[in-house]
Structure 1
Amino acid sequence: MTQVTDHGGGVRSLKVPIPDNPLGHTLVHLLDTDRGPVLVDTGWDDPESWDTLVNGLEACGTSVAEIHGVVITHHHPDHHGLSGKVREASGAWIAMHAADASIVRRSRETRQERWYGYMAEKLRAAGAPDAHVAPLLAARASGRTRTMPGLNSALPDREIVPGELLDLAGRRLRAIWTPGHTPGHVCLHLEEEHPAQLPGSGRLFSGDHLLPEITPHIGLYEDPDDATVTDPLGDYLDSLERVGRLAPAEVLPAHQHPFTDAPSRVRELLAHHEARLTGLLSLLTTALTPWQLAERMEWNRPWEQIPYGSRNIAVSEAEAHLRRLVKLGRAEAVTGSDPVTYRAVSA
């Protein structure tokens, strides 16, 4: 059964399932405008998810055919996956930040075999054992690569420009650029009085940037054609502080549930990452590869119980934290190590 929540003031949310994922669902938000309903995110491209979205819109008194526009917080498939189908059914425009639009464009143009090879090279450079890298190389060599989510996502029609109001008739929705989870992640600030008169500055559609009980994944920005050394965790922490200063009356995230007191949640997340960086430094008294560091980090389950794909995500997160420590001068790469190892810098 489709679960729809009315948040008042012409804003509703629909729980759209994510198949085989512990998050369970994406909260797709529906915003009424003078030119028709607009979606904030769309959910995973899956038949059950599509049916849930369609039924949820009907429960809201509208339909997919009536959707005027789609605003995407970021390019991940549990947010952007159904955008193309919505556009096909309605003629709606799709809007996305240029940095994530670039990722969608590149993903569509890059052959899957190259992605498998790129991932294998990245994991090998991070110190992954041969047994972990071998399946990727075998898949690339066989040509029978499994379709990876997000490699054929819909190209957006419009660019979300940070700091500007979106072109939504009768509404004031301003884009706040919040990179970290992805390079082009945006939060969307509804600059209107809260319908329940809660104190604060409007409402914030926070995507995956700010969630009430979990910490979003911060890994490396993957790009086979770009060797730029990025700092995703630094981007995320800066973006968190920006949202904290905004002090919205209520946050409407893409997962879990709405919440208030965004500044308090921001402080918790900043403290969490500082504690994690400090904890990693204690591990780096011995030189470790990113893979070895990931094996020793605390996750929601023991390393030996983490599935294959989730280990890749964990290693990416370990690398993002290492890059932050290196940028802060708190860790350094060991000269001549191959694969590269890192160690803490003595104070």
Structure 2
Amino acid sequence: MPQVIDHRGGVWSIEVPIPDNPLGHTLVHLLDTGRGPVLVDTGWDDPSSWDALAAGLDSLGVRIGDIHGVVVTHHHPDHHGLSGQVREASGAWIAMHAADADVVRRTREAEPARWLDYLADKLCRAGAPDEHVAPLRAAREQGRMRTLPGLRAALPDREIVPGELLDLEDRHLRAIWTPGHTPGHVCLHLEEDHPAGLPGHGRLFSGDHLLPGITPHIGLYEDPDDATVTDPLGDYLDSLERIGRLAPAEVLPAHQHAFADAPGRVRELLGHHEERLTGLLDLLAQPLTPWQTAERMEWNRPWEEIPYGSRNIAVSEAEAHLRRLVKLGRAEVLSGTPTTYVAL
């Protein structure tokens, strides 16, 4: 049986496993409403995850067929993966911010091979060595790209509009747009008194935006058709400050555990990223590509021990920080390929 926690006031969380992932599980939240139960996220698309979700709901006297709606904090497969199956089993609606709905639509409509071409080209421009890019090209040639997660994610049928209350009978759940982790990430503010009387302003379903002990990945927004130089880290830091000012009594994240003192956690994360930016300026005394920058940054393990897929994520995060320095006027991009940055 998965762990199920009663957060009181008609809110529960269910641990839904993420296979072969150090995060372990996604906390899928169940919200009781006057029209029926609503899920905040659904978990990874895997039979073991589906079984855990069904078992957790069953322990609360709820069948998957009873689900009235699904509110998705963001499009990543450990949050949105099972949404389509929940809708098939229950007829539930699926709501998502338009920016992430566009990602889902774009991914579904594109030829799968195009994504591998895009990822390979992006890594080349970031300065990745040929031996790192070679497996992507081989996967394309051998037709193995259909195993990538998210290629057939469910299209949402409702739009989450920032600042508006969701249409949930007897509940006051307001959407807050918090881009950074993804372009359409949303937090959901339950504007109701805390059931245990904790001081603050309601409760916050924070998705991956605000976690108690993890710094969420801030990479680059993926759109092969858009050459706009985005600033995901800047988006994330601005979003963090908005959540800090909200000062909810309790945060209900999608990973780890519920916690209080959101403003304190926000200050920690703002300080963490400022330290990273300052450290990067020291590295950029000489011109570096995003790959070279990632090799020199501090991670949770030495670079040579970081697995292949995690290196791609690390390089993307490094470039998000480099772009932020450029936006702040503290670094510049040099002409040529691969992309190279240097401090000003």
**Structure-1 separation of matches of 2:144 and 2:115:** 13
**Structure-2 separation of matches of 1:22 and 1:138:** 27
TM-score when scaled to structure 2?
A: 0.99
Is 1:81 the counterpart of 2:81? The answer is yes
Moved over 3 A (4+): none
Secondary structure of residue in 2 paired with 1:204: strand
Superimposed CA distance per residue, residues 50-79 of structure 1 (whole angstroms, 9 cap, x where no aligned partner): 000000001011110000000000000000
Instruction: Provide the aligned C-alpha RMSD in A.
Output: 0.7
Is 1:137 the counterpart of 2:137? The answer is yes
Aligned residue in 1 for 2:99: 99
**Structure-2 separation of matches of 1:146 and 1:96:** 24
Aligned residue in 2 for 1:288: 288
Aligned residue in 2 for 1:338: 337
Secondary structure of residue in 2 paired with 1:338: coil
Aligned residue in 2 for 1:212: 212
1:128 deviation in Å?
A: 0.3
Aligned residue in 1 for 2:174: 174
Superimposed CA distance per residue, residues 233-275 of structure 1 (whole angstroms, 9 cap, x where no aligned partner): 0000000000000000000000000000100000000000000
Any stretches of 5+ residues in structure 2 without a counterpart? Answer: none
**Structure-1 separation of matches of 2:223 and 2:144:** 22
Secondary structure of residue in 2 paired with 1:20: coil
The residue type equivalent to 2:155 in the other structure is L
**Structure-1 separation of matches of 2:340 and 2:41:** 39
Residues paired across the two proteins, number = 344
Question: For structure 1, which segment, 241-250 or 138-147, has the greater mean C-alpha deviation from structure 2 after superposition?
Answer: 138-147
1:340 deviation in Å?
A: 2.0
TM-score when scaled to structure 1?
A: 0.98
1:286 deviation in Å?
A: 1.0
Secondary structure of residue in 1 paired with 2:147: coil
Is 1:23 the counterpart of 2:58? The answer is no
Question: For structure 1, which segment, 220-229 or 163-172, has the greater mean C-alpha deviation from structure 2 after superposition?
Answer: 220-229
Aligned residue in 2 for 1:11: 11
Secondary structure of residue in 2 paired with 1:163: coil
**Structure-1 separation of matches of 2:238 and 2:301:** 29
Aligned residue in 1 for 2:193: 193
Secondary structure of residue in 2 paired with 1:323: helix
Question: For structure 1, which segment, 131-140 or 287-296, has the greater mean C-alpha deviation from structure 2 after superposition?
Answer: 131-140
Superimposed CA distance per residue, residues 260-317 of structure 1 (whole angstroms, 9 cap, x where no aligned partner): 0100000000000000000011011111000000000111111111111111000000
Correspondence list, 1:34-45, <5 A? 34-45=34-45
Aligned residue in 2 for 1:325: 325
**Structure-2 separation of matches of 1:142 and 1:55:** 38
Aligned residue in 2 for 1:243: 243
Secondary structure of residue in 2 paired with 1:56: helix
1:215 deviation in Å?
A: 0.3
Secondary structure of residue in 1 paired with 2:50: helix
1:324 deviation in Å?
A: 0.2
1:146 deviation in Å?
A: 4.5
1:333 deviation in Å?
A: 1.3
Identity %: 80
